[in-house]
Amino acid sequence: MSFLQKKRYKIPEDDSDPMLPFMSLLLIIIPVLIGNIAFYHFKAIELNTPGVSKNENSNEDVIPEEEDKNKDVKAIIKTNINTVTEIELELINEDTGDTLEIKSFPLTPDMNEGEEEVERVIAQINEVIQSYKKLYPRLDAMLLSIDRSLNYQDILPMISILQSSIEEKKRDEGDGVDVKKILTMVLIPTGSSESEES
């Protein structure tokens, strides 16, 4: 012990600051981080227009036997966004054009503020879509019809809610969550002709 102590005292005293190696490391890390900094955090909502409506994420589900009567019915959900206070889901038989069911989901004014409120609406719509999907296994698309008088700011949160509603989250083998879209969102552009006619 005394030998070690003696030896330690013999080490020449280093005049440089002990923080200098850390400083050098920071000076390397900071330019690398500056190069990869994101000044804007975007959120994008994927939409298709008629023409490409194949859902890459959807797989052919096994149809249970008790749902045989509806398995050949090609149903589609038409979502009407006419006001900022309501989202309307309309289940349509694609072959006959008949409306099978209409459901409305009121939106509260604090929708843009409260995340809990948004989560609640997403869960409600998701539940309805899942029940439709069980009844009509060939249901694979959600059409979006948006009123032309609304602003981009009004419609974007509503489309975002719908986007989250068509996602099915499952835990994968690891601890991660596998997100799968059960429907393809198809935007229906009406163009100027419709409004001019009306």
Partner 1 sequence: MSVKGGLSFSKMSERPNAKLQITSLMDVLTIILIFLLVNYSDVEQDTELPDFVELPLLLGKESLGGKENSTMAIGKNKIKLNKNTEIQFNSYQKEKDKILEDIHEQFTALIQKASLDDENKFKNENEKEGSIKVVLAIQADKDVPYEMIDDIVMVASNSGITQFEFVGLKKD
Binding site for partner 1 (CB under 8 A): 15, 17, 19-20, 22-23, 26-27, 29-30, 33-34, 36-52, 112, 115, 118, 146-157, 159-160, 163-164, 179, 187, 189-192, 195
CB-wise, 87 or 91, nearer to partner 1?
87
Q: What is the SS3 assignment for 1?
A: coil
Please choose, from the candidates 186, 181, 187, 188, the residue with its C-alpha nearest in 3D space to the C-alpha of residue 166. 181
CB-wise, 91 or 141, nearer to partner 1?
141
Query: Smallest gap, in angstroms, from Cβ of residue 28 to partner 1?
Result: 11
Name the residue type at position 67.
E
Query: Smallest gap, in angstroms, from Cβ of residue 65 to partner 1?
Result: 36
CB-wise, 3 or 42, nearer to partner 1?
42
CB-wise, 91 or 161, nearer to partner 1?
161
CB-wise, 15 or 65, nearer to partner 1?
15
| CB-CB neighbours of 7 under 10 Å | 9
Query: Smallest gap, in angstroms, from Cβ of residue 152 to partner 1?
Result: 4
**Residues 6 or more apart whose Cβ sits within 8 Å of residue 18:** none
How far is residue 158's CA from residue 36's CA, in Å, rounded to a whole number?
Answer: 31
Tokens 């955090």 sit on residue: 41
List, as one string, the DSSP characters of 76-119.
EEEEEEEETTEEEEEEEETTT--EEEEEEEE--GGGGT-HHHHH
Query: Smallest gap, in angstroms, from Cβ of residue 23 to partner 1?
Result: 6
Query: Smallest gap, in angstroms, from Cβ of residue 145 to partner 1?
Result: 10
Q: Environment class of residue 41 by beta-carbon count within 10 Å: exposed (0-12), middle (13-18) or buried (19+)?
A: exposed
